[in-house]
Amino acid sequence: MFWDGDGKTWKDARSHCQANGGDLISLTTLSKWEFVIQFTSCQTNMWIGLKDKLWVTNATFENVFNVSVQLNDYDGRYSNDSEPGCGKFSIRSTTVLQDESCNERLKNMYVCEILV
């Protein structure tokens, strides 16, 4: 499920996904990766289910798709945030996966997956 609407922090986006029976997407399989690329190719800069190098499923992040990654637990724009490690997906950026402020950054888009 792809959401596009009012700006939300990572935590608010995750809460919205959970309230709708899912969670932010964990890009741990090729099929999920291809789904996100296919349906969001004209979009960029969206929250995904990655925080502190862990997926919301508790799986450890591994760069299995060999994309450019910057997961440094630092957001220069919000350097005082105690939680700077929330993941965003930007397919049109030179750095496809990055981490940013969990509590300050607002994104209009995020991708939820419904858990069965």
pLDDT for residue 64 = 87
| Domain boundary assignment for the chain | 2-114
The pLDDT of residue 2 is 66
Tell me the whole-structure pTM to 2 decimals: 0.91
Give the per-residue pLDDT at 60.
96
> With respect to CATH, is domain 2-114 assigned 1.20.1250.20?
no
Q: For the segment 29-41, what is each residue's pLDDT rounded down to a tens digit?
A: 988 988 888 877 7
Name which residue leads in pLDDT, 14 or 4.
14
Q: What share of the chain is helix, strand, coil (3-state, %, to 5)?
A: 20, 30, 45
**Mean pLDDT, range 21-25, rounded to an integer:** 95
pLDDT tens-place string over residues 99-111: 999 999 999 999 9
Residue predicted with more confidence, 82 or 42: 82
Residue 115 has pLDDT above 80, yes or no: no
Integer Cα distance of 74 and 24 in angstroms: 21
| Mean pLDDT value across the chain | 91
Residues 6-26 as b or e (16 or more Cβ within 10 Å = b): eebbbebbbebbeeeebbbbb
Which residue from 53, 51, 66, 43 is spatially nearest to 13, judged by alpha carbons? 51
Say if residue 6's pLDDT is above 90. no
Mean pLDDT confidence for 72-77: 94
